[in-house]
Each structure stands twice: as C-alpha cells, then as structure tokens.
Amino acid sequence: DIVMTQSPLSLPVTPGEPASISCRSSQSLLHSNGYNYLDWYVQKPGQSPQLLIYLGSNRASGVPDRISGSGSGTDFTLKISRVEAEDVGVYYCMQALQAHSFGQGTKLDIK
Amino acid sequence: QVQLVESGGGLVKPGGSLRLSCAASGFTFSDYYMSWIRQAPGKGLEWLSFISSSANTIYYADSLRGRFTISRDNARNSLYLQMDSLRAEDTAVYYCAGRYEKYYYGMDLWGQGTTVTVSS
C-alpha cells in the first residue's frame, strides 16, 4: 500500500501571506504515461471535500490561480500565494496510482 | 444539477449490518468510476473502496478485511456499500465520490455524506 505523509499538520497563516503544504508518498506516483497521480482536496468547515488539483499540477474547475500544485515522483507541494479567509479548511493529498490513499490532512487557519 | 446523494446511515449495534446507497443525477453515471470514503469524528479522510464503471474492477482498503462490499446498478444510477460485522470504529460520515472514467480529472464529484453510528 502507498502511504501518504503530509507536513505540517497545522498551518496558521496571516491573510495575504503565502502558505505551503508538503506531501510525500512511500512510492513514486509517476505513471508510465508521464503523469503523477496525485490530487489535492480541501474540506472547508461543515462541507464535503472538494477537488483542488489533479495529476499533481492541474487546477480543477473554479479553483483560483493563486492555488497551485507542483512536484513529481514522491514529493509534492501545494502552494497558496496569498491566503484569504475563504481558504480556511483541512487540505488533503491523495494518491490515485494504486487504488487510493489520503494523507493525514493539514489544517489551515487564519492567525 | 450534478448531484450525489448518500442515504442509509443510522444507528446500528456492534456486529450488525447496514447498506448505504448513493444516488447519482445530472450526469451519465455509467461513465464514472466511484469510490466510498469515510471520515471518523474529528479524523481525516479514509478511502474504503473503488468500483469501475462496469463493475469489473473493484478494490478495497486492507483495513476492511472483507467486511464491506461495494456494488453499483447503472440502470438505477446508484452505488451501494454493504457493511457487515460493524464495529465501533466504523462510526463515521460516509461519502461517495466519482471520477470520469475516460480521462483522469480527479474525484470531482462528492456527496454530502451519510452518518453511521455503531453503538450498543
């Protein structure tokens, strides 16, 4: 099974400042087709999870361009260039190469 | 509109069974791979099971140890999760989620969740 590890687990951020979340997988998520099967999801308070980024760096529909994903193989990063109040929530990475598995989640809140 | 609606949650005694349903509408259900994911109180997301569009490929998380069974009925636009030998640690909100089968765009469809409580 592929184990996903996120850091930090808690991320207090001042509005307008950047934020970064790291996700590491126990095996490479790079498929032979050249794509990394790594997604990012956010669960905002009281809501179901929603897709932010798929295949490592592709924004889902409606996701603002201040949110970006990068990385390859086993190391991935989610970046928010300027945090806004609406970004509060728990962020999860998820691998989709072998079935699925999630990271532990990173709780982002406003300082 | 595009929608996934879970149902079937409730209170069940340890050792009991429950069948969850997920009703799809607003899109072509048979074009989507589906998964069940749960979230225990105060905890993170745990992927449970996956089923392909034609149900010929099924995966389960090792932690389930054969207690849960996923299925789908494309004619009824519905996904199911049969849960047997339930334990207190199965208490959680259960979500169904879907991804398009032909190209990988991530799990872009999620339901609102149904709550399962296992307690005597």
pLDDT digits (tens, 9 = 90+) for A8-46: 999 999 999 999 999 999 999 999 999 999 999 999 999
B106 at the A interface (CB within 8 A)? yes
Supply the mean pLDDT for chain A. Answer: 97
- How far apart are the CA of B58 and the nearest CA of chain A, in angstroms? 9
Does the beta-carbon distance from B104 to A1 stay under 8 Å?
A: no
Would you report the helix, strand and coil content of chain A in percent, each value rounded to 5?
Answer: 5, 50, 45
pLDDT digits (tens, 9 = 90+) for B35-54: 999 999 999 999 999 999 99
pLDDT digits (tens, 9 = 90+) for B67-113: 999 999 999 999 999 999 999 999 999 999 999 999 999 999 999 99
The answer, yes or no, to whether residue A4 has pLDDT greater than 90, is: yes
A60 at the B interface (CB within 8 A)? yes
Predicted local confidence at residue B65, as pLDDT: 78
Disruptive mutation site among A7, A31, A48 for chain B (greatest number of B CBs within 10 Å): A48
Does the beta-carbon distance from B45 to A101 stay under 8 Å?
A: no
Q: How far apart are the first and last CA of chain B?
A: 39
Predicted local confidence at residue A17, as pLDDT: 97
B27 at the A interface (CB within 8 A)? no
Disruptive mutation site among B107, B109, B115 for chain A (greatest number of A CBs within 10 Å): B107
Give the number of other Cβ atoms within 10 Å of residue B15's Cβ.
11
Q: A1: helix, coil or strand?
A: coil
- How far apart are the CA of A37 and the nearest CA of chain B, in angstroms? 9
Give the number of other Cβ atoms within 10 Å of residue B41's Cβ.
9
The Cα A13–Cα B112 span in angstroms is: 28
Contact B81, B70 (CB under 8 A): yes
What's the distance, CA B18 to chain centroid?
12
Q: Look at residues A9, A16, A39 and name the one whose alpha carbon lies nearest to residue A87.
A: A16
Q: Chain A residues with CB inside 8 Å of B44's CB?
A: 90, 92, 102-105
